[in-house]
Amino acid sequence: MINVTKTFLPPIDEYQHHVQRAWKNEWLTNRGELVLELEENLKKYLSVSNIIITNNGTIPLQIGMKLLGKGGEIITTPFSYVATTAAIVWENCTPVFVDIHPEYLTIDETKIEAAITPKTTAILATHVFGNPCHLEAIEAIALKHNLKVIYDAAHCFGVTYNQKSVFDFGDMSTCSFHATKLFHTAEGGAMFCNDAELFKQLYYSHNFGHKTNIDFHGIGINGKISELQAAMGLAVLPHMDLILTERKKVVDYYNLHLNFSKLKGLRIRENTQWNYSYYPVIFETESVLLEVEQKLNALKIFPRRYFCPSLNTIEFTNGKPMPISESIASRILCLPLYVGLSTPELDLIIATINTNQ
């Protein structure tokens, strides 16, 4: 069976080495030695100054909405994973959708200002498949209208824009360390922020609001990651060069052998060092996609319709029509991409697509 992705598992003895450290310390949660070490290692690897690692990738979005959304209208993209919009609604804010660019697939920055109202408090934009939004334009709009900017950078581990980590943009950025991601802690995530005061708020917010054991800065939630999750991260991180190299080989092979006469690929934004996180292809029609998907599934190959549906069509969002996002969502398919995907497997995927477009 060939799934859309496969979790990278480091040699088990490397994971056990770090787990044994947790056993020796008799410390499994509440920011122990392994969590602190992983944060330091990630700061060096990603070239960022601040990071808080969390128990999943959704909690940072919810904390960001709580602190920066303030119950207002949040301008956001309809083309993202459901967690992006769910975090807005969950924190009693209102999503206001803006359609996407048809090639980059990120929020169309030229349409943001028209969506701003007196109730707008923030912009929550997704770097889609690790492809950055138009950062300069979004941040200029936010500055002009005194809005906060949160970037859902779930797919962006290691991505740089103009030789700078994408996590360094906006008021805060979030990332996912889910088992399906390039770098993972089995389940986990992170939040990034360069403003000292906001960073302090993010920190206490992910730890129940604690100031001391008996005093509190304010309300918080449990977003802490465990030592066992951190152990996985410490075991995976040394293999990142291998992971990126092998994924690039798969992407290059698809690029070389797929027939793009009727397919469209993702356009990576200029000045971006991408991380090969996903391989989406866009078919001419949904019916063609469904036919190809059926043929692949019959061969036990399982790509994913990612992102589908367009989030403005989900009942709880009450979104207006977003024609570009809805069209792309109906026609996009993410192909298998992971370390260990063999050339014969790739040839089978490619031949099935090329002969059934």
CATH numbers and ranges of domains, the chain: 3-238 (3.40.640.10), 240-354 (3.90.1150.10)
The 3 state secondary structure assigned to the chain is CEECCCCCCCCHHHHHHHHHHHHHHCCCCCCCHHHHHHHHHHHHHHCCCCCEEECCCCHHHHHHHHHHHCCCEEEECCCCCHHHHHHHHHCCCEEEECCECCCCCCECHHHCHHHCCCCEEEEEEECECCECCCHHHHHHHHHHHCCEEEEECCCCCCCEECCEEHHHCCCEEEEECCCCCCCCCCCCEEEECCCHHHHHHHHHHCECCECCCCCECCCCCECECCHHHHHHHHHHHHHHHHHHHHHHHHHHHHHHHCCCCCCEECCCCCCEECCCCCCEEECCCHHHHHHHHHHHHHCCEECECCCCCCHHHCHHHCCCCCHHHHHHHHHEEECCCCCCCCHHHHHHHHHHHHCCC
pLDDT of res. 211: 79
Q: Which of 79, 272, 50, 78 is nearest to 166 (CA)?
A: 272
pLDDT at 321 over 80: yes
For the cut 80, the answer to whether the pLDDT of residue 168 exceeds it is: yes
The pair of three-digit structure tokens given for residue 344, joined into one six-digit string: 């014969």
* Average confidence (pLDDT) over 152-168: 98
Confidence tier at 218 by pLDDT (50, 70, 90): confident
Q: What is the pLDDT of residue 216?
A: 78
pLDDT at 308: 97
**Residue 5: alpha-carbon gap to chain centroid:** 15
Segment 110-120 shows an average pLDDT of 98
Q: Which of 172-181, 215-224, 281-290, 341-350 has the lowest mean pLDDT?
A: 215-224
pLDDT of 208 over the 90 cut: no
Average pLDDT, the chain: 97
**What's residue 258's pLDDT?**
98
pLDDT band at 18 (very low <50, low <70, confident <90, very high): very high
- pLDDT, tens only, 22-59: 999 999 999 999 999 999 999 999 999 999 999 999 99
pLDDT band at 356 (very low <50, low <70, confident <90, very high): confident
Contact 269, 104 (CB under 8 A): yes
The answer to whether the predicted template modeling score (pTM) of the entire model surpasses 0.95 is yes
pLDDT digits (tens, 9 = 90+) for 72-93: 999 999 999 999 999 999 999 9
Please report the pLDDT score of residue 32 as a whole number.
Answer: 96
Average confidence (pLDDT) over 118-138 = 98
Number of neighbouring beta carbons within 10 Å of residue 24: 9
> Residue 169: which pLDDT band, with cuts at 50, 70 and 90?
very high
Q: How far is 126 from 349, CA to CA, in rounded Å?
A: 28
What average pLDDT does range 248-274 have in this prediction?
97
Q: How confident is the model at residue 210 (pLDDT cuts 50, 70, 90)?
A: confident
Residue 214 pLDDT greater than 90, yes or no: no
**Could you tell me which of 109, 176, 3, 107 has the C-alpha nearest to residue 328?**
107
CA distance 53 to 56: 8
CB 135 within 8 A of CB 160: no
